[in-house]
Structure 1
Amino acid sequence: MPVPAPNLYPDFNTIRLSHVCLNVKDLAASKAFYTEILGLQITDEDDSCIYLRAMEERGHHCVILQQSDKPGTVEVMGFKTFDDDDLDRAEAYFQQKGRPTAWVQRAYQGRTLLTSDNMGIPLEFYHQMDRLPPIHQQYALYRGVKPLRIDHFNCFSHDVDASVAFYSDFGFRVTEYTEDEDSKKLWAAWMHRKGGVHDMAFTNGIGPRMHHVAFWVPTPLNIIDLLDLMATTGHVSNIERGPGRHGISNAFFLYILDPDGHRIEIYCSDYQTVDPDLEPIKWDLKDPQRQTLWGAPAPKSWFEHGTKFVGVETKNSGLGASPIIAP
């Protein structure tokens, strides 16, 4: 199935991904991991939630850690619109698509529309979030891997073609994709709004589940520093995959797991994709350089482990094709 043509004039204008709310078991343990190991900055906290931002971000938060009796799940993924009227247009759009919509109250955000995609992934859209003073030059605050900003989400989908078609219709553009040569179905795809390789990606598997949330860092050396830090602070078992360089996206990467099993990618060095006529890059599922430019395959856990969305049932994929998996 061919990749859909980009919709350059969607019904409403999404600028970028914004934030994610992760449910955790032990708020204190998660706080220590996200601030001392990753290096995110606390913007507010109480007995049930911690709000965090990365060093370049002016919005109030990019991560919400929420104490929950359903730890290791995802509450919602957030996106920012171009203006406030886009929220009303988004409401009409998702209603026309048969998706549920509701206006919800969110701390530090203006009007917020809660809906879901065609697979059931809970999405919220807002335009206004409280703005904070810049801290990117307060170098005494830098900790851990020194994250600059949230970069993308990646989700398992049991039907990647359907997921790509849905997001393409409201303006997400495919940058790279993997197609199963036998069935001609998509095995994975990378889609963007902000001009990087992706704001949202989809990987074939039991879905919908979150595969990972990624944070941008300045250089590959930040990732090396993080590995040294994790190796000497009792977090060796939290290192899952990497470091390495992806073939897809060209990014230097590392995958780690937080205390509740949420997968985090540390990410840098992808490329600009702002041209509206940029042609997507196709990859062969069996190409060993697809996963890692240097040829190293990903471990089995990388294709199987993911975190569920609260209240959303998952389905098995009907696509049996498989990439190369490390023994």
Structure 2
Amino acid sequence: MDSYHEPIRDIAHLGHVELLTPKPDESLRFFKDILGMEEAGRAGQSVYLRGWGQYERYCMKLTESKQPGIGHTALRTYSPQALERRYAAIEKSGYGIGWTDGDIGHGKSYRFMDPDGHQMEIYFEAEKYQAPEHLRPALKNQPQKYTGKGVGVRQLDHINYLAQKVEPNSQFMQDALGLRVSEQIVLDNGTHAGSWLYAGQKSYELVYTLDATNRRGRLHHITFCVDSWDDLMRAANIYVENDIVIEGGPAKHAIQQTLFLYCFEPGGNRIELATGGYFIFAPDWETVTWTQAERAKGQAWRTPTIPSFHTYGTPVVEE
């Protein structure tokens, strides 16, 4: 145990993401009517949306843009002091951008980039959601009632970035933010093809996977969680009835063991619904490493990995 280093626990969880869309009206209808999210505010060209289980005001900022993709990703710290500590660490890395006065629903934030060019921010001050009368839950330990509208997603689950190189991004997240790697893929030539990172007991919230097009700064997908396998099956039926393109699933991942369903929202971004998975209680968790041969077997039930997983991302690369 002499080589054991006390982990940095300054990051609490993934807070929200800003998703870019060239079809704002169609994308908004998808998230509100198909996924069942509630609108929590508007500002400029952006609409703020939430799942029924989100304790903060919102989990996604949907912004009109010429191209689809990710605007920024926000992580909440455990305290104002933790925010200052992570700011200092990021500044030393050279990837810092600067402080902002905040956005709807949260206080000041520190903006930075990861090595691949994805924009991020950390913040602490956050507005707790106060449900209006028509969304007030029967249970006081639940932020909003479950409306049963559309899929009825609970909350933001994780985000997966495509990266030109996985390892520098994963290492940056470990060194500057204190995130830890729960699982990873290492190819025969030593290249890291995937890294699943976590802050608390949830086994992953940020993921980096290798971009087969060799581009930088693209989005692979964002994921919302639902409560059960039945919810995923119901979502697949809702997608079919509304002509939403299903890319893969329902099925089960080998890595992380989550049950999944992938589709494309009207703006072109890949959206995943997930349920299941596991939590990490061991403070000295040892990273699970998957080999190239093991991943070639496909997913948990031996369903093959979807070929477009390695190439399709947003912004879209013209072949």
Category of TM-score, reference length = shorter chain: 0.7 to 0.9
Distance 2:143 2:222 in 1: 25
2:154 counterpart residue number: 148
Structure 1 residue 47: Cα displacement: 5.9
2:123 counterpart residue number: 126
Q: Is the 8 A contact 1:223 1:266 kept in 2?
A: yes
Summarize the Cα distance change of 1:284–1:302 in structure 2 as closer, same or farther, 3 Å threshold. Answer: same
1:244 counterpart residue number: 251
**Structure 1, 75-84 or 144-153: larger mean CA deviation:** 144-153
Distance 1:81 1:280 in 2: 23
- For residues 147-296 of structure 1, the aligned pairs below 5 Å read 147-169=153-175, 170-181=177-188, 183-205=189-211, 206=214, 207-235=216-244, 238-287=245-294, 291-296=298-303
Structure 1 residue 196: Cα displacement: 1.6
Structure 1 residue 290: Cα displacement: 6.1
2:54 corresponds to 1:54: no
Q: Is the 8 A contact 1:156 1:210 kept in 2?
A: yes
**Structure 1, 58-67 or 135-144: larger mean CA deviation:** 135-144
Q: Which of 274, 288, 312 is 1:305 aligned to?
A: 312
1:204-235 alpha-carbon deviations (Å, 9 max, x no partner): 11333111111111001111111111111222
Structure 1 residue 87: Cα displacement: 2.2
Letter matched to residue 223 of structure 1: L
Letter matched to residue 160 of structure 1: V
Q: Which of 72, 78, 88 is 1:76 aligned to?
A: 72
Q: Is the 8 A contact 2:24 2:267 kept in 1?
A: no
Summarize the Cα distance change of 1:118–1:72 in structure 2 as closer, same or farther, 3 Å threshold. Answer: same
2:19 corresponds to 1:26: no
Q: Is the 8 A contact 1:6 1:171 kept in 2?
A: no
Q: Determine helix, strand or coil for the equivalent of 2:28.
A: helix
TM-score (norm 2): 0.88
Distance 1:265 1:233 in 2: 16
1:271-298 alpha-carbon deviations (Å, 9 max, x no partner): 0113221112121223257641111112
Q: Determine helix, strand or coil for the equivalent of 2:261.
A: strand
Structure 1 residue 174: Cα displacement: 1.0
1:46-96 alpha-carbon deviations (Å, 9 max, x no partner): 56221111111110111011122x230221011000111222222221111
TM-score (norm 1): 0.86
**Structure 1, 276-285 or 134-143: larger mean CA deviation:** 134-143
**Structure 1, 284-293 or 32-41: larger mean CA deviation:** 284-293
Quote the sequence identity (%): 24
Distance 1:24 1:84 in 2: 33
Question: Number of paired residues?
Answer: 301
Letter matched to residue 274 of structure 1: F
Q: Determine helix, strand or coil for the equivalent of 2:96.
A: coil
Q: Determine helix, strand or coil for the equivalent of 1:101.
A: strand
Q: Determine helix, strand or coil for the equivalent of 1:44.
A: strand
Q: Which runs of 5+ in 1 are unaligned?
A: 315-327
Q: Is the 8 A contact 1:173 1:191 kept in 2?
A: yes
2:39 corresponds to 1:13: no
Cα RMSD over matched residues?
2.2
Q: Which runs of 5+ in 2 are unaligned?
A: 132-136
Q: Is the 8 A contact 2:157 2:205 kept in 1?
A: yes
Letter matched to residue 215 of structure 1: F
Letter matched to residue 227 of structure 2: P
